[in-house]
Structures are given as C-alpha cells and as structure tokens.
Amino acid sequence: MLVKTPQNYISRPIYLNRVSPFIGQNLIKVLIGQRRVGKSYLLFQIMDIIKSKQPNASIVYINKEYHEFEGIHDHITLNKYLANNIKPGERNYIFIDEVQDIVGFEKSLRSLQAKAEHDIYITGSNAFLLSGELATYLSGRYIEFKIYSLSYSEFLNFRNEGDSSENFLQYLKFGGLPYLINLELSEHLVFDYLRNIYAAILFKDVVSRHNIRNIALLENLIRYLADNIGSLLSAKSVSDFLKAQKVSVSPNVILNYLSYLEEAFFLLKVNRAELQGKKIFEIGQKYYFEDLGLRHALLGYRTTDISKILENIVFLHLRIAGYNVHVGKYQDKEIDFVCERGNEKIYIQVAYLLIDERTIQREFGNLELLSDNYPKYVLSLDEDAKGNRNGIEHRHIRDFLRNLI
C-alpha cells in the first residue's frame, strides 16, 4: 500500500544517520521520546529513504493518534489489520506510531519478527512500557533510538536563522519542540501551545496510565522540580519540603511519581558518581527537563534562573550527542557533568559569567584537581570565552552547542 508522506518536513540527520544502517535488518527499530518531539516525522523520513531505493515498496503505516486506527486496540485487532494490509510473498515495511496504546503489542511484534519477513519500526512515548515489554518478549531482537526535541543547531536550521544572542534567547525561552516552526515566537502563543502539550503528557502518559488520584500533589511536585532544576534532590528532601507546605506525603510516593515523569520523558534524572572510587550514589540526584519550553510554560521565563537554565540546555546537548552523563564528585568538589561515550570521556563545568576571580577559581579549580588527560571544558556566556587555563578549554556556550561534539 502506498503511504503518502508530507513534503514539507525538515530532515534530522542526527537520528537518520543512526537509524539508516539498520534499515532492512532483522531488528525492530524502536524510536522513543516525549510527545511532540518529532518521532512521526522521522518515520516519514525513513519511509522516503526506503521509497528512494524501492519505489514500489509495500509500506504499512499505523498511527494510534489518528481516528481511523481507533479499531486497533489490542494485538488481536492489530494482527487482523496487518493480515488485511500486508502484501504476501514480499517484504513489507511496517510502521506503528505510539505503539504503547495497543494492548499486547509485543505479542504481534514477536510473531512478525520471528518470521524475518518484514522490516518493523515503532515509536512510543513511555519508556517503561516499551523497554519492559520488549525486553521480556523480544530480548536482543530490537534496537532503541532516543529522540529528543531540537538541538540548538536544529532549532536554527528549522527556523532558517543564524546563530545570534537573540536566537539563543528564543531557544532558551521556548525550547525545541519542532511544531514551534509554525508559530510566531511570542510568549502568549508559544506558552499556550506548550501548556496543551504539558496537559497531554500529564494526563495521558502519567495520570491515566498510573491511575493517579492526587493530581494536585503531582503538579506541586512538578513545580518544585521546575524551580530546582540542577539541584541535588532526594525523595526525602522533597517530602520534607512538601510537609513544610502542609502537604504530607511519603518519600515512596515521591519516588513513584518521579519514576512516572521519567517514563513519560518529561524529566531526565542524573545520578552522582564518585570519581575516585567510581561509586554511583543511590541518593541525591539532579533532575532536568527534556524540554525547557514546557518548564517555562509553567513558571514563566525568569532571567534570575539563567544559570540553571544554561546547565539544563548543556545537559540536553550532551544527551543528544549520545553521551552518558553523571554529576561528578571528587573529594568535596562537584563536577557539573562527567560524560562518557564509548571510549571517550569529557568533563564540563557550566557557568553564566566568570565575573570575578573567585568564580574563575571555582569553575577551573574543580577541574584542575583531576589528574587524567581527558578533555575538560568550562562553558560560559562571556563574550571573550576562549583559550585555556592549565589545559582546560574555555568556550562560549553557543559555540559549544552549535556542534555535536
């Protein structure tokens, strides 16, 4: 069957370059990420790659957010639909968008994948459901690709703009959901749109999926996290804060709610690691937002938060680039980000401005304690951010973000 893909999308080579080598391979390709980060359009781009090589390829596309697919609600109805739409005797390319809304989807995928006749691509907006079910039924038979909202370079490309302090401010304020290309970047329009996305994530992916009754507590928790991005937190410290606000809740409930927000790709958790003994601390994590625009739609964009906003944006960039990231602890000092990718390793400190010698000593001094030879960076918005001190490179944050390191 012929699937007509949109003609006005903008390519995202960061992800296409990761997925393309697996086209035609007998592995289920799983694209995961927060709602509205562009997973559907990546599927369309993959379809176009396939059609460019096989113009008559049989492509079956199911999107659970389209009303015409409402009848597909479990693996039985999914099997019936596929049986009526795939072409027998040839390889079919099967694309299922928001697969987590199909009960027992993994049973259908296991059957299809076992026959090794079709090339399968799925997307989903719930990390636990996908990883849990696929790990159970399809261990070793799928490969996962995490999709994020736009990087700074993508944001500029989507808007056909060049790097400037004004465009960078727009990115910090409104985030990187791809649909923003269709909106005038004004707070009234964008934040109204983002509040609708927030509501969809909250109610579809968290409240409804986990049968949460105390929605007010969940929203209070989100606002607390939004106000404390980049701060070391624990379930107990959050619980104690809420109790001081006359809201009694146990640390276990807090832990559950935090895990639900992570599963919906609303928040990203970062653990601390002891750099000398390589111990991972089980308490005291940092949380960042997957999209800062959603955070600002709740709290408003506050210039007084610039340091934590910059830290969040650098962290997202590192994750998009494929790094595993920890907060580093060395003696009594903290390293903002310890980043590993394969055999690579880098250390990063993030600051707003290096305004005095004390700030310079803090940001560079923490890194100077580390005796290994891995690259080390201090990132800031100082206009003269360049050069190095004792082998530690000082770079402007915008320059750093324009490149996928």
3-state secondary structure of 370: coil
Model confidence at 1, pLDDT cuts 50, 70, 90, reads very low
Domain assignment present for residue 5? The answer is: no
Q: Do 208 and 128 sit in the same domain of this protein?
A: no
Q: Does residue 149 surpass a pLDDT of 80?
A: yes
Q: Do 30 and 162 sit in the same domain of this protein?
A: no
Domain assignment present for residue 262? The answer is: yes
Q: What would the mean pLDDT of 312-331 be, rounded to a whole number? A: 95
Neighbouring residues of 386: CB distance < 8 A, sequence distance ≥ 6? 394, 395, 396
Q: What would the mean pLDDT of 230-237 be, rounded to a whole number? A: 90
Phi, psi for residue 365 in degrees, rounded to 5: -65, -40
Last residue of a domain, one of 114, 146, 178: 146
Tens of pLDDT, residue by residue over 393-403, are 999 999 999 98
What is the torsional sign of CA 222, 227, 229, 232? negative
Sheet with 344-350, edge to edge strand ranges: 272-274, 324-330, 333-341, 344-350, 376-380, 392-396, 388-389
| pLDDT the model gives residue 368 | 95
Query: Which candidate, 142, 144, 112, places its Cα nearest to that of 31?
Result: 144
Model confidence at 113, pLDDT cuts 50, 70, 90, reads confident
Which amino acid would we find at residue 229?
A: I
Q: Do 254 and 310 sit in the same domain of this protein?
A: yes
Domain assignment present for residue 215? The answer is: yes
Tens of pLDDT, residue by residue over 42-64, are 999 999 999 999 999 999 999 99
Q: Does residue 2 surpass a pLDDT of 60?
A: no
Q: Which of 29-43, 128-142, 233-247 has the highest mean pLDDT?
A: 29-43
Domain assignment present for residue 293? The answer is: yes
Last residue of a domain, one of 146, 181, 199: 146
Q: Do 157 and 290 sit in the same domain of this protein?
A: yes
Q: Do 131 and 165 sit in the same domain of this protein?
A: no
Q: Does residue 175 surpass a pLDDT of 90?
A: yes
Angle between helices 187-200 and 292-299 (to 10 degrees): 110
Where in the sequence is the domain holding 395, given as residue range(s)? 152-401
Domain assignment present for residue 6? The answer is: no
Q: Do 35 and 161 sit in the same domain of this protein?
A: no
Neighbouring residues of 298: CB distance < 8 A, sequence distance ≥ 6? 195, 198, 222, 223, 226
Q: How far apart are CA 191 and CA 213, in angstroms?
A: 26
| pLDDT the model gives residue 279 | 62
Q: How far apart are CA 14 and CA 46, in angstroms?
A: 13
Q: Do 277 and 183 sit in the same domain of this protein?
A: yes
Model confidence at 242, pLDDT cuts 50, 70, 90, reads confident
Q: How far apart are CA 254 and CA 256, in angstroms?
A: 5
Q: How far apart are CA 193 and CA 133, in angstroms?
A: 32
Q: Do 136 and 167 sit in the same domain of this protein?
A: no
Listed range (53-57, 128-132, 185-189, 200-204) with the worst mean pLDDT: 128-132
Q: Do 170 and 292 sit in the same domain of this protein?
A: yes
Q: How many domains does the chain divide into? A: 2
Higher local confidence (pLDDT), 305 or 3: 305
Neighbouring residues of 212: CB distance < 8 A, sequence distance ≥ 6? 206, 218, 257, 260
Domain assignment present for residue 180? The answer is: yes
Listed range (4-13, 67-76, 100-109, 288-297) with the worst mean pLDDT: 4-13
Q: Do 92 and 241 sit in the same domain of this protein?
A: no
Q: Do 104 and 202 sit in the same domain of this protein?
A: no
Mean pLDDT of the chain: 92
Rounded to 10 degrees, the C-alpha dihedral 397/401/404/405 comes to 0
| pLDDT the model gives residue 335 | 95
Last residue of a domain, one of 109, 124, 146: 146
